[in-house]
Amino acid sequence: MSTLFARFTEAKKILLLLLILAALLVMFFIPTFLSKYSVYLLTVILFTALLATSLNISLGYGGMLPLHQAVFFGVGAYAAALLLNKSPLPPWLSFLAAPLVAAGVALVIGTVCVRLRGLYFGMMTLAMGQLVWAIVYRWYEFTGGDDGIHGIAVPQVLRSIPAAYYTALIVFSVCLLIIYIILNSPFGIALQAVRDNHQRCESIGINIRHHQLIAFVLAGFFSGVAGVLFVILERSVSPSLLFWTKSAELLIMVLLGGMFTFLGPTFGAAVIIVLGVFLGVITEYWLLVLGTVLVLLILFLPQGVLGFVKEKISSSAPERKGVDKYAQG
Amino acid sequence: MDFSAILSQFPDLYTLAGQFFVGMSRAMILFVVAAGLTVVMGVLRIVNFTHGTFYMLGAFIAFSVAQWLGGSSGFWLALLIAPLIVAALSFVVESTLMRRIYDQPRLMQLLLTYALVLAFNDLIKIVWGVHYKSMANPIPGSISLGGATLPSYNLILLAAGPLVALGLWFFMSRTMMGKLCRATATDREMVDALGINSKQVFASVFVLGCYLAGLGGTLIAPTTNIVIGMGMGIIINAILVVVVGGLGNVWGALVVSFIFGIGESFGVLFAPRFALVFPFLIAATLLMIRPSGLMKSVW
């Protein structure tokens, strides 16, 4: 753990650990005092936060422009659904295999995409992603087409909202810890260096495409994990999980939270989902409100809410340098 | 192999010709929309998701104009007025929002235009309601073309594509304004240094692009249900046409629209349910072969 939090001072480290433990403790007891719907909502927030964080691996830390991350979420969900319903595999193996399928798809798409830069990278992810969506949307025999798959054979133990919540909570915590470790490993540091300066990294012998591809596949894997959590909670899947607007929503969450902060995407996901629920009760036109808020945010707070807070707290803000460089590229 | 079995599955020539013209009509709509987008992306260098929304607005406004005027002449006036209204709206959007983000990172531009898509979707819901609209066909009946029967209205669509291409070519290469647009696309600072207001050039290009989006929406209005979200589908295809054709290259957009149209219409014959897949497959393949687009990009 000492290397893990190397960036913090001793006191800050303890404070941070205590905060995390306290948060987990509160999260653990939540189903005992909150309503069923709130617990359901929290589960949605948890897997969406994992999804947004996985997007941030390639977007914020890898400096790529993955415009279609939701595809890997959808592939993970569909893989879990199909494995549970149609394969003789035991359920726990299906749950493990589904993120690997998502990672496999990410490997194929990533191999093609990392040859390209900037906008062309984004366009390629968009084209390939929509290709996967179109196949899922129309392949009635296998994926159920636009009807999706309903009544997925999730094991009986997981078929309650608290069970889905605890699964999501544990998986979310473990995955975020793993992502944190990866991003602060030598690989993660090199990845951020690639984001900040292509040429210099190339000249000191870092294989840029290699690093970006690994980051892309990792992002795909964790998106797939989020997809599995979705299946456990909802027990149904539909092609809209893979449509490009879903990816745009994710980009909004990451942007809102701040894409150069580790917990920014989690924060952004929580805000957007809670906002959607509460505004959805008040007005039918909550997307109009969201759109307006976003426009204001982009015009006046482009570094995101957590990024803004972070900037105010630490005057040095070493990561911002990379941001400006990336922003121009 | 049993060739006769394969041959018997092969559609006859008339079906092929019919599919060809239907595919071409769709390709022309896509081209009109993509041509506007390629001009905007070429000169302003922003990826504009709102373009699809202006297309959708074109269709809704055309519906209202035609309904307001009534009769069969309604559509023709809508064809004239609706794209102009869309253009006026786009001018407001450009001068209040778009011009603030030209220097922002690309992701911010993408998200701003997407935020506008969300907002406009709801605004359209407020103005026109949630139910789909449909318009009367201004030229009912069908004609025979190369042995294939085709709705007469498709002739308008088939003519619209080449007309827009020629118009844009004339504008870009023969008029002062077009030359300014190309100059601004190449070197904005130099244009500013020569005492030309590049902001005005940007605004005009944006309005021109959105006019074409509105025109595309008006043209498709009589042939389809006008629904909220119709912009979401076409915008991805249009963006891919623009990128694959070479950003800012109108001829590239024309060629790729053709390829998409042919791919889709013949895809329908061989794998009916997967026609939707073909444009993306084509785009991904072409991008793999030529990552910076088929034709010369201005970027």
Q: Is residue A251 domain-resident?
A: no
Closest Cα in chain B, distance from residue A192 (Å) = 18
Q: Is residue B164 domain-resident?
A: yes
Helix axes B153-174, B13-44, angle to 10 degrees: 30
Closest Cα in chain A, distance from residue B73 (Å) = 35
User: Over the range B113-137, which residues count as b (16 or more CB within 10 Å of their CB) and which as e?
Assistant: bbbbbbbbbbbbeeebeeeebebee
Q: Is residue A92 domain-resident?
A: yes
Closest Cα in chain B, distance from residue A300 (Å) = 11
User: B116 and B197 share a domain?
Assistant: yes
Residue A100, both tokens? 């690997």
Q: How many CB pairs under 8 A join A and B?
A: 121
User: B290 and B198 share a domain?
Assistant: no
Task: Please determine, for residue A205, whether its predicted confidence score (pLDDT) is greater than 70.
Answer: yes
Q: Is residue A29 domain-resident?
A: no
**Structural domain count, chain A:** 1
Q: Which of A59, A251, A288 to mutate to test the interface with B (most CBs of B within 10 A)?
A: A288
User: B288 and B190 share a domain?
Assistant: no
Nearest to A127 among B115, B240, B273 (CB): B240
Say yes or no for a CB contact (<8 Å) between A255 and B108: yes
CA–CA separation, B178 and B131 (whole Å): 40
Say yes or no for a CB contact (<8 Å) between A138 and B276: yes
Q: Is residue B126 domain-resident?
A: yes
Alpha helices in B97-249 (DSSP H): 106-128, 153-174, 176-186, 188-193, 198-220, 230-245
Nearest to A124 among B47, B117, B284 (CB): B284
Closest Cα in chain A, distance from residue B189 (Å) = 17
Q: Is residue B2 domain-resident?
A: no
Q: Is residue B202 domain-resident?
A: yes
**Structural domain count, chain B:** 2
Nearest to A291 among B115, B126, B292 (CB): B115
Which has more confidence, A158 or A132?
A: A132
Q: Lowest-pLDDT range, A9-18, B89-98, B125-134? A: A9-18
ipTM computed for the complex: 0.85
Nearest to B280 among A115, A134, A287 (CB): A134
User: B112 and B165 share a domain?
Assistant: yes
Say yes or no for a CB contact (<8 Å) between B284 and A131: yes
Chain B, nearest residue to A60 by Cα: B107
**Residue B1: predicted pLDDT:** 47
Structural domain boundaries enclosing B163: 36-228
Average pLDDT of the segment spanning A97-113? 95
pLDDT tens by residue, A59-94: 999 989 899 999 999 999 999 999 998 888 888 899
Q: Which of A64, A105, A123 to mutate to test the interface with B (most CBs of B within 10 A)?
A: A123
User: B141 and B249 share a domain?
Assistant: no
Q: In B, what residues contact A, Cβ < 8 A?
A: 47, 49, 97, 100-101, 104-108, 110-112, 114-123, 125-126, 232, 236, 239-240, 243, 273-274, 276-277, 280-281, 283-284, 287-288, 291-292
In order of B62, B153, B154, B172, the CA distances from B141 in angstroms are 21, 8, 11, 37
Residues of A in contact with B97 (CB under 8 A): 295, 299
**Cβ-contact A212, A193 below 8 angstroms:** no
- Check residue B118 and give left, alpha or beta (phi > 0: left; psi -120 to 50: alpha): alpha
Structural domain boundaries enclosing A221: 35-246
Say yes or no for a CB contact (<8 Å) between B117 and A291: yes
Q: Domain end: B202, B228, B254, which one? A: B228
User: B202 and B66 share a domain?
Assistant: yes
CA–CA separation, A129 and A105 (whole Å): 10
In order of A16, A228, A256, B3, B80, the CA distances from A307 in angstroms are 18, 30, 9, 65, 48
Helix or strand run (H / E) with residue A236: strand A236-237
User: B192 and B108 share a domain?
Assistant: yes
Chain A, nearest residue to B126 by Cα: A285
B206: confidence class by pLDDT, cuts 50, 70, 90:
very high
A329: confidence class by pLDDT, cuts 50, 70, 90:
very low
Q: Lowest-pLDDT range, A261-270, A286-295, B80-89? A: A286-295
Say yes or no for a CB contact (<8 Å) between B107 and A135: no
Q: Is residue A15 domain-resident?
A: no
Residues of A in contact with B113 (CB under 8 A): none
Say yes or no for a CB contact (<8 Å) between B236 and A126: yes
B141: confidence class by pLDDT, cuts 50, 70, 90:
confident
User: B99 and B237 share a domain?
Assistant: no
Q: Tell the residue number behind the tokens 């941030």, with chain if given.
A: A56
Q: Is residue B269 domain-resident?
A: yes
Say yes or no for a CB contact (<8 Å) between A302 and B104: yes
Q: Is residue A71 domain-resident?
A: yes
Q: Is residue B41 domain-resident?
A: yes
Q: Lowest-pLDDT range, B68-72, B195-199, B226-230? A: B68-72
Nearest to A287 among B118, B240, B277 (CB): B118
Residues of B in contact with A130 (CB under 8 A): 236, 280
B73: confidence class by pLDDT, cuts 50, 70, 90:
confident
Closest Cα in chain B, distance from residue A63 (Å) = 11
Q: Domain end: B204, B228, B252, which one? A: B228
Say yes or no for a CB contact (<8 Å) between A130 and B122: no
Say yes or no for a CB contact (<8 Å) between A251 and B110: yes
In chain A, the percentage of residues whose pLDDT exceeds 90 is 45
Mean pLDDT score across all residues of chain A: 86
**Residue A324: predicted pLDDT:** 43
Q: Domain end: B193, B213, B228, which one? A: B228
Residue A282, both tokens? 């008040």
pLDDT tens by residue, B170-198: 988 888 888 888 888 888 888 888 888 88
Closest Cα in chain B, distance from residue A285 (Å) = 6
User: B43 and B115 share a domain?
Assistant: yes
Residue B35, both tokens? 């041509």
Chain B, nearest residue to A68 by Cα: B236
CA–CA separation, A78 and A236 (whole Å): 9
In order of A117, A249, B47, B252, B255, the CA distances from B244 in angstroms are 14, 25, 14, 8, 10
Average pLDDT of the segment spanning B229-256? 90
Q: Is residue B62 domain-resident?
A: yes
A273: confidence class by pLDDT, cuts 50, 70, 90:
very high
Average pLDDT of the segment spanning B233-256? 90
User: B81 and B176 share a domain?
Assistant: yes
CA–CA separation, A46 and A58 (whole Å): 19
User: B206 and B270 share a domain?
Assistant: no
**Residue B10: predicted pLDDT:** 59
Q: Is residue A23 domain-resident?
A: no
**Residue B143: predicted pLDDT:** 80
Residues of A in contact with B288 (CB under 8 A): 112
User: B206 and B248 share a domain?
Assistant: no
pLDDT tens by residue, B275-284: 788 888 888 8
Q: Is residue A95 domain-resident?
A: yes
Q: Is residue B10 domain-resident?
A: no
Closest Cα in chain A, distance from residue B114 (Å) = 8
Closest Cα in chain B, distance from residue A68 (Å) = 12
Q: Is residue A193 domain-resident?
A: yes
pLDDT tens by residue, A17-28: 888 888 888 888
Residues of A in contact with B122 (CB under 8 A): 285, 287-288, 291
Closest Cα in chain B, distance from residue A252 (Å) = 7
